[in-house]
Structure 1
Amino acid sequence: MARPRKPLLSRDRIVATAGALVDAEGLEAVSTRRLAAELGVSGPSLYNHFRTKDEILEAVADAVSAQVDLSMFAEGDGRDWRTALHDWAVSYRAALTDHPNIVPVLARGPGRRPAGLRVADAVFGAMVRAGWPPAQATHIGALMRYFITGSALGSFARGFVDDATAYDPADYPHLGQAHLLAERREKVDEGAFETGLRALLDGLAVQYEAAGAARSRPREEGGRPGAR
């Protein structure tokens, strides 16, 4: 009787297994020895696909980036720059909150990761097409990454315990309902994200309108480039 064949080792299998370990146990759980055991292979066989553990974690991070919806940035999609940024930010945060343990790797930036670079390219390209100067488009991409990854690094609501006695009104007169935050974590954290995102986009809209007004303002009569 033929012996059952083991599934072929592939980059995708390694990344999926490493991603499951990161989700379940954190970044520290990933090692080449642990991965080899989980995959039922010898440790050295992993090096046919990845040179280091860090390369594996980068690939896991890129797999999460690939889950982010970029359709709103496609030419002809019809959404204005503000709506596109909002919808993308919601999708990006959803991917990160599904895989919070990989966020520290994603927070370092895209590096050479293909999906991460596609995200950066899509955001920058859409902002430039919308009329933002390239320098400002870069700033917007950075700002959004700071905001989204920061929101996914931890939960504000989870930072409070569900014990009412921990918040003595004699010491904390305004935290009488703080013990309820933990059980309302999702609603609180999503509400905070939406509040911050709207405030951020409102501020960008003011800058966009001001820049547009400056561009449309006629030159002073007799003015010329470089004149003082």
Structure 2
Amino acid sequence: MARPRSPLLSRERIVAAALDLVDGEGLAALSTRRLAAVLGVSGPSLYNHFATKDALLDAVVDEVLGEVDLAMWTGTDAGSWAAALTDWARSYRAALVAHPNLVPVLAQGPGRRANALRLADAVFGGLVDAGWPRGEATRVGALMRYLVFGSALGSFAGGFLDDEEVYAAGYPHLGQAHLLAEHQRSIDEGAFETGLTALVEGLALRYARLANG
């Protein structure tokens, strides 16, 4: 029997299938046995590409971080860092919102993940190139990450029940709270944009103070 022209498995194919599985069914659904079944191969064949499940999960997480646009950080200066920070935060959040089941793992930090380290390097380097002191640049990057992950980790509007009776007695200021879930996306996105604008405007004031000594 002739050998197939291309291997049945590749790292890229495994990672793509694992990401689809997590997106569709949650992180708990990811197992070697389940993934092998999805791919139509034997479980042990996966270990030729990933020694452990943790190694596979790292690759899946890094694949998601590869979706974040970093082009805006090229050539940042005093006049462009705020726009770069804003565009990057939006792209970062979009990647997380597209893969919500992975947000808790993504929040753990870069570790050895190549795309995660590339992201950190681009943001920190862009801020420093724009004139931010190194310590301040570190804090700004961390602050923006808190905003992005906080906004992607859960829905504020989705946490309110669509039941007017819940708020009818004892909560005089929540008379419209039962309507929040109906507008979940616009409320959550609007809250992120409000926070992003406020932070960047505040950072611009801080940047100016630092520049003036």
Asked whether the equivalents of residues 156 and 189 of structure 1 are also in contact (C-alpha less than 8 Å), the reply is: yes
**Alignment RMSD:** 2.1
Q: Does 1:203 align with 2:205?
A: no
Contact 2:65–2:95 (Cα < 8 Å) also in 1: yes
In structure 2, distance between residues paired with 1:193 and 1:148: 8
Matched, 1:114 2:109: no
Give 4+ residue runs of structure 1 displaced > 3 Å after superposition.
Answer: 1-7, 76-79
Q: 2:76 touches 2:129 (CA, 8 Å); kept in 1? A: no
Tell me the equivalent position of 1:71.
71
The answer to whether residue 31 in structure 2 is matched with residue 39 in structure 1 is no
**CA-to-aligned-CA distance 1:95-134 (integer Å, 9 cap, x gap):** 1101011111110111111111111111001000110111
Does the residue aligned with 2:47 lie in a helix, a strand or coil? helix
Once residues 172 and 2 of structure 1 are traced to their aligned partners in structure 2, the CA distance between those partners, rounded to angstroms, is 73
Q: How many residues align?
A: 213
- Alpha carbons 1:27, 1:102 under 8 Å: kept: yes
One-letter amino acid matched to 2:158: R
Residue 174 of structure 2 is aligned to residue 175 of structure 1: yes
Alignment-derived partner of residue 186 in structure 1: 185
Deviations 1:146-177 (A, max 9, x none): 21111101000110111212211x31111111
Q: What displacement does 1:79 show?
A: 6.4
Aligned 8 A contact 2:97 2:152 in 1: yes
CA 1:4–1:190 in structure 2 vs 1: closer, same or farther (change >3 Å)?
Answer: same
Contact 1:72 1:79 in 2 (8 A): no
Residue 92 of structure 1: aligned partner: 92
Look up the equivalent residue of 1:202 and give its one-letter code.
Answer: E
The answer for unaligned runs of 5 or more in structure 2 is none
With structure 1 as the length reference, what TM-score do the two structures score? 0.88
Shift of 1:3: 11
Determine which structure has greater relative contact order: mean sequence separation of CA pairs < 8 Å that are 6+ residues apart, divided by chain length: 2
Task: Give the secondary structure class of the aligned counterpart of 2:108.
Answer: coil
Secondary structure in structure 1 of the residue aligned to 2:162: coil
Q: Does 1:162 align with 2:162?
A: yes
Does the aligned pair in 2 maintain the 1:160–1:182 contact within 8 Å?
Answer: yes
After superposition, the C-alpha distances for 1:9-48 in whole angstroms (9 at most, x for unaligned) are 0111111111011111111110111111111111111111
Question: Displacement of 1:75 after TM fit?
Answer: 1.7
1:9 aligns with 2:9: yes
With over 3 angstroms needed to count, the CA separation of the structure-2 counterparts of 1:180 and 1:7, relative to structure 1, is farther
Paired-residue identity, %: 66
The secondary structure found in structure 2 opposite 1:206 is: helix
TM-score, with normalisation over the residues of structure 2?
A: 0.94
- 1:140: how far off? 1.2
Where 1:176 maps in the other structure, the secondary structure is coil
Give the C-alpha shift of residue 196 in structure 1. 0.8
For structure 1, list consecutive stretches of 5 or more residues without a partner in the other structure. 215-228
Structure 2 CA distance for aligned equivalents of residues 69 and 189 of structure 1? 22
> What's the counterpart of residue 102 of structure 1?
102
Conserved 8 A contact 2:77-2:129: no
Matched residue of 2:212: which SS?
helix
Read off the aligned partner of 2:212 and give its amino acid letter.
A
Higher mean displacement: 149-158 or 137-146 = 137-146
Point out the structure with max Rg over C-alpha. 1
Per-residue CA deviations over 1:156-204 (Å, capped at 9, x if unaligned) read 0110111212211x31111111111111011000010011111111221
